[in-house]
């Protein structure tokens, strides 16, 4: 389904009684907000970021689509070979722990020159612009219902006289998300995870 088709469905349904139904740019904004919410709730995109460590540097900036860390792996030099181990995350009293110190910055202590840390993270959606209305929306079909309810919620939120409609659409959004989870319509197994650790490019 294309972005334009989602806009048409919202205009004919959830936004039918609102003037905003003819404002494509505003509806697209609601779609972008809804996509962020869906990517937060479900593991729709999991990415990997390889950090080359620099001695004396602890703070590293993550990619722009970074939401939060799922897992991290580091190198341990053991005699003649390099082993890969899982690293703790946000454990305040652990000197080996990676720490999320801001929305896009990760602290990696005990850095060694030319070593690598693999950070697996939940990624957010790409921002959809007007030129992409004919492109497929990057969302599984079973998640179209909650997205439309979210668009309805945002649309009615902008109209101060439709408090009940706001609450109704947000409740329907929550219910639709809960049905997806309860029925197992989407799990982390549906996501193409990054390659196995042994193939991640560690030296």
Predicted confidence band of residue 37 (pLDDT cuts 50, 70, 90): very high
DSSP states of 23-67 as a string?
A: -HHHHHHHHHHHHHHHHHHS---EEEEEEEP-TT--EEEPPTTEE
DSSP states of 118-140 as a string?
A: EEEEEEPPPPP-GGGTTSBPSS-
Instruction: Quote the radius of gyration of the chain (alpha carbons, Å).
Output: 21
Question: What does the pLDDT average to over 44-63?
Answer: 93
The per-residue pLDDT for 196 is: 46
Predicted confidence band of residue 203 (pLDDT cuts 50, 70, 90): low
Summarize pLDDT for 60-93 with one digit per residue, the tens: 999 999 999 999 998 776 656 667 889 999 998 8
More confident residue, 55 or 123: 123
More confident residue, 88 or 111: 88
Predicted confidence band of residue 198 (pLDDT cuts 50, 70, 90): very low
The per-residue pLDDT for 134 is: 97
Question: What does the pLDDT average to over 152-164?
Answer: 80
Q: Report the mean per-residue pLDDT for the chain.
A: 88
The per-residue pLDDT for 113 is: 73
């Amino acid at each position: 389904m294309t972005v334009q088709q989602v806009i048409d469905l919202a205009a004919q349904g959830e936004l039918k009684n609102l003037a905003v139904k003819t404002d494509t740019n505003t509806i697209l904004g609601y779609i972008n907000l809804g996509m962020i919410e869906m990517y937060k709730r479900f593991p729709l995109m999991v990415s990997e970021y390889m950090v080359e460590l620099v001695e004396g540097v602890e703070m590293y900036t993550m990619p722009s689509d970074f939401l939060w860390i799922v897992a991290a792996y580091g190198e341990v030099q053991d005699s003649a070979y390099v082993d890969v181990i899982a690293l703790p995350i946000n454990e305040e009293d652990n000197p080996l722990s990676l720490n999320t110190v801001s929305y896009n910055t990760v602290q990696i202590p005990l850095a060694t020159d030319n070593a690598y840390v693999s950070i697996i993270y939940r990624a957010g959606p790409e921002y959809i612009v007007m030129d992409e209305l004919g492109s497929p929306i990057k969302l599984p079909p079973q998640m179209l219902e909650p997205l439309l309810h979210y668009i309805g919620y945002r649309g009615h939120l902008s109209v101060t006289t439709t408090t009940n409609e706001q609450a109704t659409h947000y409740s329907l959004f929550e219910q639709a998300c809960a049905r997806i989870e309860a029925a197992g319509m989407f799990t982390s197994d549906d996501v193409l995870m990054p390659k196995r650790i042994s193939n991640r490019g560690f030296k």
